[in-house]
Structure 1
Amino acid sequence: MTLKTSLLSKRILMGTALSSSLLLIACQEHADLKTPLQASETNSLGSALVAKVDIVNPSSFKRPDEPIYLSYYDLGLSQTAALTVKTAQQVLPSQAVDINSDGELDGVYFIVDLNDKPIEVTITQQSSPSITAQTKRVQADLAHKQGGQWQPHSRPPKHQVGTGKKEYVGGEFKNVDELTPPDYYTDHSNWIRYEGPGIESDKVGYRFYLDWRNGFDIFGKLTTQPVLHTVGLDGYSSYHDKQDWGMDILKVGKSLGAGGFGLMGNNDELEHVADVSSRTARIIENGDLRASIQIDYQGWRNSYQNQNLTANISMHAGSRLAHVELSTDKNLPNIVAGVVKHPETEFIQADLDTMSNYGYGYIASWGNQSLDKSALGMAVFFKKGDVIDVRQDKNNYLAVLKPKGQSAQHTDYYFASVWQPESGINDKESFIEYLDQQAERLTIKPRITLHTTVTAKKTTQPLNDKIALEWARALADSELKRKALGYHANGWDVNRKRSPKFEYDIIGLQPYAYYQLGMATDEQTYKNVIAQVAGSFIDQQGKITAYKQSNFNIDNIPPGRNLIQLYQDTQQQQYLSAAKALRAQLQLQPRTSQGAFWHKNKYQHQVWLDGVYMGMPFLAQYGSLFETGHQQQETFAEVVNEFKLTREALRDPKTGLYYHGWDESKQQAWANKQTGVSAEFWGRGMGWLAMSVVDVLDYIPAKNTEQRDTLLAMVKELATDIAKVQDTDTGTWWQVLDKPTALGNYQESTATAMFAYFYAKALNNGYIDADYQDTALAAYQGLLNQFTLVHSDGTVSMTNQCYVAGLGFGRDGSYHYYMSEPVSKNDPKGNGPFILASLEVAKLLAGNN
């Protein structure tokens, strides 16, 4: 047995042992359990293990009361289940939640304290709900008087004198789950306790005026106990004075208050959600750890149109933040969120230029602005990519946000308040530290690795060619059900929340992978994806929708491989015309002084590692099919030269790893001033390179020995250097390749899938020594063990995908930057390589039979 074979055995056995241990524990805890989903029906001996969850703090500071949500779908459960969440030391408080406010419980929610050590959590399923005592740490509250009567308002608000508004006399407050005020209700009508619904955590409480003001107010709390149900029982005046529990601490006036919302009207002035046909408040959740309310505004008449708006507002235990999710039934150009602008307050704003579009920034105010004259800080947190503008008016500090969506539009943000008497935050500097930490918590989520019993049943099957092919089918079929066909020209990019663009992943890589699956299985359903998706962008004249050559964006080129395939299959001229247009772009593409392609026209003088995959496989294929003689040889020479120049510019001779980008001008903020390279070795960047070199070799003819030898030498070199940074325990690779133990780094699935594809294809084609078979199979088994989820309906998901990474425009290429980009699942940048890796591994294993 070779050393590499021994390493393979260790990797696979460890992965199998982990999965088997899940099943073993389930059997030990419930001997006659057939599947985890049957536990509630048959469990008389105890509980059945549903999942093991590893959680790591990605921040340098402690993150107390970190909320963790896991859907029943991801846990492999088909319905609401009685679940217990525990560590080795204790049972954790948990709650079944309706995270999307659709009226159905959809997952489990629990709170953990994240310090400097990983936490291992187990989730088990009981035959009946747990009776473990929990402390109620949040509350949603809504109450109005009953038993009295409406009378003409004795002291109506000045602006509503003579309008027929009424006040409620007599009666007692009763809590309700839903309330729609009559049209004669207004502020100070003595009918709704503290004038609207309220929500609180053990840190702070908020109330929302259910009238024309639509302002958000703050109850500062001096206790961790729920108090809203006791506030305002004797009218409006008492909670303006400090009591044992705290007090109302904010003067809202004509502002949005503490995190309220409105609209920047077509006269460029703030419009409140004031003129509506009706307002309905509902309590959606009122658990121990998470509470949420909904306010439904029907017939909102604004300067653009008459429309409906729904606001869902939620809080979790241990946090001052409230999450606001807004949905409108018609398009709006903006939504405004803000905080009141009091005299003598200091305005604070995060530096948005230093973060990516998915990073959270904030606007805030600080000063002695509470009603008891104490220091009070208020903030609104939002994603940089959602911001249109930051501005002020007479009454507010405002963030103007861009709603996103197709038919309905959505906007979300968070707001928070920090009151000095309860927080111990005494100065602006401490408040900014709090803001920065909260922004990081919103941006960089805990690193979660989820192993479920349902998944383990599948991943522990001995791997063979048929099993590998079935994994390709499983993910492909799952994505066909979910969204793969929705990326057509008139469709919707679910992840990016925009119309699809003609680009590398959704139109290029993923449909290409489907076609290869169709070739392997001879199933037309898979082959049809390139016509349904990529083909939909091409009109009868060969013009490409959502494409602009003058951008010289090399990310637009990969769909060209699908256009070539469509032309070969149909002989329809429009596909060849479109492919020619992409070839023409590459002829005109701006280049470095030595001839390497710029990544985009706006990324001047820059070569990115992923650009090799974006351009070269198409260029080589096009040249092999549609060019001849000297022109063809020039194309092949250009392809090989691109790899040479990329290697010269980006490869680190000490490690053999490649940096993400190179700026020939050395002017970019992310570029080393001596070498021009970026700072880190990004996993998927090298994945793109590795896939591209084995794909290009498909098209360089055997007679071009010198060119092939150059590429084959790179394949061998990559095989050696990539293996050095493979995780020996799992067979996977890390987001930043050479820093596995660095803070926040995580095992990343898209790079792992790309490397598994690279090794398996290189082995199948005889480019590398057979000793690398263990590396390929360990990578693929790691892809299954670490990143694959099987759901109760049989669908499959791929997890732990770096959603996106780039350079410039707030992306500084630092280690922290790569940690700050979202971690997602079921994205085409991972799905495509997963399918392709499965096909190559199936071929590899079939060849071993």
Structure 2
Amino acid sequence: MSEQPSGVSRRSVLAGSAAALGALGALALPGTASADPPDWSRAVVDSTMKRFTPAALGGWSYPIGLYLYGQYLFYRRTKEHKYLDYVVAWYDRFITDDGISNSFSSLDSMRAGQMLPLLYNETGNAKYRKAADQLRRRFDSYPRTSDGGMWHAVSRKEQLWGDGVYMAQPFLALYGKVFNDPTYCFEESAKNLDVYFGHLKEPAKGLIYHAYDATGSQPWATGPGKHSSFHWARAVGWFGMAAIDILEVLPADHPRRGDLIGIVQFLAEGYRRYQDPKTGRWYQVVDHGADAGNWLETSASSMYAFTLARGIERGYLPSSYAPVARRGYAGVLQKVSVGADGLTNLTDICEGTNVGDLAFYFGRKRLTNDFHGLGAFLIMNEQFTRRPV
């Protein structure tokens, strides 16, 4: 990972391209206790570290793993070891010389494992390799649908949720690269995206449904497709980021590489179609922007902006998507501010969410500084800091 330039301020983004951001109109910046920091990633990470010691950050979970991966990306840019030390201190609560004690009974429980190969590369400590090996072996016996899709959880029999691919498959692909296990890891991670996509996609909209039930027994699994009925924003965002992350390590000649690029292109068109023209962000239920009760959600908007920007950088998407990415980034920056205590606040982040009906999605809590949003924000901000579109 290459060293990155210094941070990009909110005002520079809003002022940098009048043509690209024109659809945003004259947006007033939210009130802040002080001027915008020169580097939003640093401000968010420093604020989180002031709020929580590693011991108080929370238990093993995918939102914490997502956040710490974002902090790791910031560390890779700055090379300031206190930021890596914080990540290591949290992981060392769970990992010993014997590895990790975890049954990994859900895909969600695997997401924090994304850092294990990275920590091994950073430290050379064998315990991170041992823990990564334990997680890798779990895939051999993890339950799957008849066509090979990994169940969202052992308790969610025969169910594939769009968010699940991000929880497990990027780890598997990265493990294959770092620890020289490419044949199984590359194929299995990419195959799962293909299988999930086949069940969840809605071609007319460029979106995916939240979940699929192979048995058709769930109350939300309506119709012949056996999928849920709505396009929940963060599930769509997880899916795009999963495709991007696997493409980062998949060999150029891998037979499924074209499929994953096609998924990025499919979703990018949906992102463009449903972006809110006033704010640049995206709605909690993506294609129901006109419905009363729907709201613009920050974590998914960060994910979409990241996926578009990385897709353009890697050549998966044409430059015509750059204005969409810039509007998305600028829109998310409208949701972060510095409070009177000098710490950052990131607002309108959806809480953890199961599959439900329209009222259920609209009624989810809108949180401030939730780790789903902080992690997605850092991933997005590091992308735009390193390579503005």
Structure 2 unaligned segments of length 5 or more: list them. 1-16
Q: Which of these residues, 178, 184, 198, is aligned with residue 648 of structure 1? A: 198
The 1:641–1:542 alpha-carbon spacing in structure 2 relative to 1, beyond 3 Å, is same
Give the aligned partner of residue 320 of structure 1. Answer: none
Partners of 2:32 and 2:339 within 8 A in 1: no
Please list, as runs of the form range in 1=range in 2, the aligned pairs for 1:353-368 lying within 5 A after superposition. none
Q: Which of these residues, 423, 447, 458, is aligned with residue 36 of structure 2? A: 458
Q: Which of these residues, 129, 133, 136, is aligned with residue 580 of structure 1? A: 133
In the TM superposition, what whole-angstrom CA distance separates every residue of 1:659-683 from its partner, at most 9, and x where no partner exists?
Answer: 1000000001121142211111000
Report the residue type matching 1:548 in the other structure: S
The CA distance in 2 between the partners of 1:718 and 1:819, in whole Å, is: 22
Please list, as runs of the form range in 1=range in 2, the aligned pairs for 1:92-171 lying within 5 A after superposition. none
Give the aligned partner of residue 529 of structure 1. Answer: 86
Partners of 2:32 and 2:337 within 8 A in 1: no
- 2:217 matches 1:667: yes
SS in 1 for 2:256: helix
Partners of 1:763 and 1:844 within 8 A in 2: no
The CA distance in 1 between the partners of 2:308 and 2:84, in whole Å, is: 25
Report the residue type matching 1:667 in the other structure: S
Which runs of structure 1 show a deviation greater than 3 angstroms over 4 or more consecutive aligned residues?
Answer: none
Give the aligned partner of residue 263 of structure 1. Answer: none
Deviation for aligned residue 1:737: 0.3
Give the aligned partner of residue 445 of structure 1. Answer: none
Partners of 2:36 and 2:337 within 8 A in 1: no
The CA distance in 2 between the partners of 1:732 and 1:513, in whole Å, is: 20
SS in 1 for 2:387: helix
SS in 2 for 1:627: coil
Give the aligned partner of residue 73 of structure 2. Answer: 516
The CA distance in 1 between the partners of 2:74 and 2:18, in whole Å, is: 32
TM-score (norm 2): 0.91
In the TM superposition, what whole-angstrom CA distance separates every residue of 1:281-339 from its partner, at most 9, and x where no partner exists?
Answer: xxxxxxxxxxxxxxxxxxxxxxxxxxxxxxxxxxxxxxxxxxxxxxxxxxxxxxxxxxx
The CA distance in 2 between the partners of 1:13 and 1:520, in whole Å, is: 32
- 2:274 matches 1:731: no
Identity of matched residues, %: 30
Please list, as runs of the form range in 1=range in 2, the aligned pairs for 1:181-260 lying within 5 A after superposition. none
Partners of 1:667 and 1:673 within 8 A in 2: no
Give the aligned partner of residue 142 of structure 1. Answer: none
Q: Which of these residues, 682, 686, 694, is aligned with residue 236 of structure 2? A: 686
Give the aligned partner of residue 6 of structure 2. Answer: none
- 2:170 matches 1:614: no
In the TM superposition, what whole-angstrom CA distance separates every residue of 1:684-742 from its partner, at most 9, and x where no partner exists?
Answer: 011101111111111101232x3222211211221112111110111000000001121
- 2:343 matches 1:795: yes
Partners of 1:530 and 1:562 within 8 A in 2: no
Report the residue type matching 2:43 in the other structure: A
- 2:62 matches 1:504: yes
Report the residue type matching 1:750 in the other structure: S
Aligned-CA RMSD value:
1.8
Report the residue type matching 1:542 in the other structure: G
The CA distance in 2 between the partners of 1:7 and 1:680, in whole Å, is: 33
In the TM superposition, what whole-angstrom CA distance separates every residue of 1:468-497 from its partner, at most 9, and x where no partner exists?
Answer: xx01111111111112x34x4xx463xxxx
Give the aligned partner of residue 422 of structure 1. Answer: none
SS in 1 for 2:378: helix
The CA distance in 2 between the partners of 1:618 and 1:524, in whole Å, is: 23
The 1:794–1:701 alpha-carbon spacing in structure 2 relative to 1, beyond 3 Å, is same
The CA distance in 2 between the partners of 1:609 and 1:600, in whole Å, is: 13
Report the residue type matching 1:788 in the other structure: V
- 2:315 matches 1:766: yes
Partners of 1:535 and 1:563 within 8 A in 2: no
In the TM superposition, what whole-angstrom CA distance separates every residue of 1:477-522 from its partner, at most 9, and x where no partner exists?
Answer: 1111112x34x4xx463xxxxxx1x22111x211111111001111
Equivalent pairs, count? 373
Higher strand share: 1
In the TM superposition, what whole-angstrom CA distance separates every residue of 1:788-836 from its partner, at most 9, and x where no partner exists?
Answer: 12212332110000011113xxxxx100111222111111111011111
Structure number with the bigger relative contact order (C-alpha 8 A, sep ≥ 6) is 2
Deviation for aligned residue 1:763: 2.1
The CA distance in 1 between the partners of 2:72 and 2:120, in whole Å, is: 14
The CA distance in 2 between the partners of 1:773 and 1:521, in whole Å, is: 26
Deviation for aligned residue 1:765: 2.2
- 2:49 matches 1:480: yes
- 2:116 matches 1:563: yes
Give the aligned partner of residue 9 of structure 1. Answer: 21
The CA distance in 2 between the partners of 1:759 and 1:534, in whole Å, is: 31
The CA distance in 1 between the partners of 2:343 and 2:116, in whole Å, is: 29
In the TM superposition, what whole-angstrom CA distance separates every residue of 1:594-648 from its partner, at most 9, and x where no partner exists?
Answer: 00000000000000000110111000011112234xxx22321221211111111
The CA distance in 2 between the partners of 1:680 and 1:724, in whole Å, is: 16
Give the aligned partner of residue 840 of structure 1. Answer: 383
The CA distance in 1 between the partners of 2:165 and 2:327, in whole Å, is: 26
Report the residue type matching 2:92 in the other structure: G
In the TM superposition, what whole-angstrom CA distance separates every residue of 1:28-81 from its partner, at most 9, and x where no partner exists?
Answer: xxxxxxxxxxxxxxxxxxxxxxxxxxxxxxxxxxxxxxxxxxxxxxxxxxxxxx
Partners of 2:351 and 2:367 within 8 A in 1: yes
Higher helix share: 2
The CA distance in 2 between the partners of 1:511 and 1:535, in whole Å, is: 13
